[in-house]
Amino acid sequence: MEMRSLAPFTGPLPAIGLGTWEMEYDADPVAALKTGLELGMTHVDTAEMYGRGAVEEIVGKAIAGRRDEVFLTSKVLPSNASREGTLAACERSLKALRTDCLDLYLLHWPGRHPLEETLRAFDALCESGKIRAFGVSNFDAAELRAIVELAGPGRITCNQVLYHPGERTIETALLPAARELGVPLVAYSPFGHGDMLSSDSAGGRAMAEIARRRGVSVYQVALRFVLRHPDVLTIPKAATLAHVTDNAAAGSWELDESEIASLAKACPPPGRGPGIPML
C-alpha cells in the first residue's frame, strides 16, 4: 500500500483509506471495514452526521481491539461547532467510537458559528488529549486561507473535499492554495455519483479502456487519477469485501503520463464546486 503524509504528522498514512458515508445501509459494514484494515487501509474516516451517529458505532465495533493500528478521523457538524457544542459533540463521537482519543477531528463544512469558537474548542480538545490534530472539510480556497490565518501555519492538518475524475473544480483554485498553505487534501467520493463510471460518458469510456489494458477495475483507475497529485489522499467507501480488496489493490501502481492526459481530456474541469455534496 502506497503511503503519504498529512501535515503536521510525519508518520505515513495509506494513500487510500476507508470512507464510511451511508455505511449504515450496507449488508455487513463491520466485515468490510475489518477487511480494509487487514489490507493496510488504516485511515478510517467517519462523522457524527453519518447515520446520525450509527456509523460511528459501526466503526467502533470494527476497530475494537485494534485501535492502535488505526488513524481515526471524525467530524463535527457546523450546527454544533460553537465552543461548547464542539466539546460536547466530540464526547459523543468518542463514546460511539469506543475510544478516548481521535487522531483527527474536522469541521464538516463552514457554518454559522465563528471559526474562532471552533478553533478554541479544538485547542481545548488537543490540550485534554481528546484529539491529536484538527482540520476542515468542504472549505474553498478563500475559506481555507481564512482558517489557516486564524489557526496559524502548520495547524490545519487537511481539507477534505469532493474530488473525482468527473469533478475537478478543486484543481483550479483550491489545490494551488492548499499547496501554498501546506495543507494536504483528502478526496472523498473518488468514484463520483451517478453515471461517471458508465460507458455512456467520455470519462467512463476512457477509464474503461485504461482498465482493460491494465487488467484492473475502473474503480482503480479513478483512484489513481485522484492520487496522481502527491499531496492528495483519498477515502473511498466500499460496501463489499470484493470492492474493499479492489480498492486496496490501487495502492500498488500508477498511471503513466499518456493515461493521465487521456483521462484529463475526457474529464475536463470545471464541474460543481468543492465539497458538494457534504459527505
List Cα–Cα distances, 113 to 91, 153, 253, 276, 277, in angstroms.
19, 22, 43, 20, 20
Instruction: Give the DSSP H or E segment for 54.
Output: helix 54-63
119 contact partners, CB below 8 Å, separation of at least 6: 134, 147, 150, 151
Residue 240 C-alpha cell reads as 463489499
Residue with grid cell 485534554, as numbered in its chain:
128
Length of the chain: 279
Classify residue 172 by its DSSP letter.
Answer: T
Which is catalytic among the residues 25, 50, 188, 219?
Answer: 50
The Cα diameter of the chain in Å comes to 54
50 tagged catalytic: yes
Q: How far apart are CA 274 and CA 170, in angstroms?
A: 6
Residue 191 C-alpha cell reads as 468514484
Q: How far apart are CA 208 and CA 214, in angstroms?
A: 10
267 contact partners, CB below 8 Å, separation of at least 6: 165, 166, 168, 202, 203, 206, 225
Q: How far apart are CA 38 and CA 50, in angstroms?
A: 23
Compute the chain's Rg from CA coordinates: 18
Residues with catalytic roles: 50
